[in-house]
Amino acid sequence: MNTSVSDLPDPEALYQQLALDVKQFIASKNLQQPLIIGIRTGGAWLAQRLQKELALPELGILDISFYRDDFDERGLSAHAKGSDLPDSIEDRDIILVDDVLMSGRTIRAAMNEIFDYGRPTSIQLVCLLDIGQRQLPIQADVVGAKIELIAGQKIKLSGPDPLALTLG
């Protein structure tokens, strides 16, 4: 099924279910003091909300602008703000949060940056939407919804409050 605007899930309801699923995931994996890291911008909005809702003491924000594999073609985004991570991520269980999982290239860039800061025990991936179209073998551990888009169609999360989804 291809997605139209009327088929898009309600992002606030999707987030609420995602928050419950992440809480259950943390408990089932027995993660002690996981560190939530959001990928700027949509993943950062979701991570900030999850960190507060799950009462986790720390939050990290990644800006992967310098780690993208198309950096030479696209250059630096005018919106690049840099990353903000805790002093140490060594031996931490990371919950990496992004809004839309598509090719897997953003996640690969995020993992490369994380490893430049240290060696975590694990990285678990949480995404609000999975639209498939993978170019790399990366899968989310927790996903809000899987949807199919028409070739060339893009989906964008805007927010942070309220969250909204738009097709382009």
| Segment 25-64, tens digit of pLDDT | 999 999 988 999 999 999 999 999 999 999 999 999 999 9
What digits encode the pLDDT tens for the residues 81-132? 789 999 889 999 999 999 999 999 999 999 999 999 999 999 999 999 999 9
Residue 77, in any domain of the structure? no
Q: Is residue 142 assigned to a domain?
A: yes
Q: Which of 134, 136, 130 is nearest to 155 (CA)?
A: 130
pLDDT for res 77: 56
Q: Looking at residue 140, what is its pLDDT?
A: 98
Query: E strands within the chain?
Result: 35-39, 59-62, 93-101, 122-130, 142-146, 155-158, 164-167
Q: Is residue 80 part of a domain?
A: no
Residue 61 contacts residue 47 (beta carbons within 8 Å): yes
Residue type, 49: R
- Mean pLDDT throughout 15-27? 98
- CATH of residue 24: 3.40.50.2020
Q: pTM higher than 0.75, yes or no?
A: yes
Assess if residue 130 is contained within a domain.
yes
Asked if the structure places residue 160 within a domain, the reply is yes
**What's the pLDDT tens digit per position in 128-159?**
999 999 999 999 999 999 999 988 899 999 99
